[in-house]
A and B are shown apart, each in its own frame.
Chain A
């Protein structure tokens, strides 16, 4: 079984719709991250959370929100999706006790906003 899972894997939606992407992990890690990947731009950090009560904005948080429901679950929401949020979204985890900054990634969610 995968250690970091993301649902859905693919989603097509329309402009203005609310969308939630979910991430679950069985690694027992405290820290979780959401990134988006765009061609030619690499991965950019949207939000990150170091524990259930700690949520931090990343590089490109506008238009997104997150919820850390439990240590193992971290959801990303698009309140009103727009076409330039079409991208590949990755969830990642890391262990605060592990080697510096090493992160483990889920398989990604491909989101298309029409």
Chain B
């Protein structure tokens, strides 16, 4: 069965510092991978997605993610974090039957 692991429950970074959120997946075939962000009191917004092709994908708000098949990873990165990036981030993998399987989420705190 498909699964997603986000090893870090909480991460705190200073404003202006770089960010990397980790995501590992388990899936037998080529995965469809997603990162969503949930700001406080808001729904989930899609940041970026990977289906095939270039393994480095660009998303909204200056985020990018790199698919590494050998490591079963799809880590999210941003070179310089802004205070408005404080939110909860979810990695998800597309599962059979057009479903999504989500990781437990990583809460990002940004300190000024």
Contacts and interface: CB of A to CB of B under 8 A. Distances in A.
Interface of A: 4, 31, 33, 40-45, 48, 50, 56, 58, 90, 92, 94, 96, 99-108
Contacts of A40: 9, 104-105
Given A40-B9, A99-B49, A101-B95, A106 B43 contact: yes
A30 B6 CA distance: 30
Interface size class of B (residues with CB under 8 A): 20 to 34
Please report whether the interface of chain B is mostly helix, strand, loop or mixed according to DSSP: strand
Interface of B: 4, 6, 9, 32, 34, 36, 42-46, 49, 51, 90, 92, 94-95, 97-100, 102-105
A23 to B, nearest CB: 11
A48 B102 contact: no
A42 B42 CA distance: 15
B105 A100 contact: no
14 contacts: A4-B43, A33-B99, A42-B90, A43-B102, A44-B102, A45-B100, A50-B98, A99-B32, A100-B98, A101-B34, A102-B34, A104-B46, A108-B42, A108-B43
B102 A96 contact: no
Given A101-B32, A101-B98, A105-B44, A43 B90 contact: yes
A104 B34 CA distance: 12
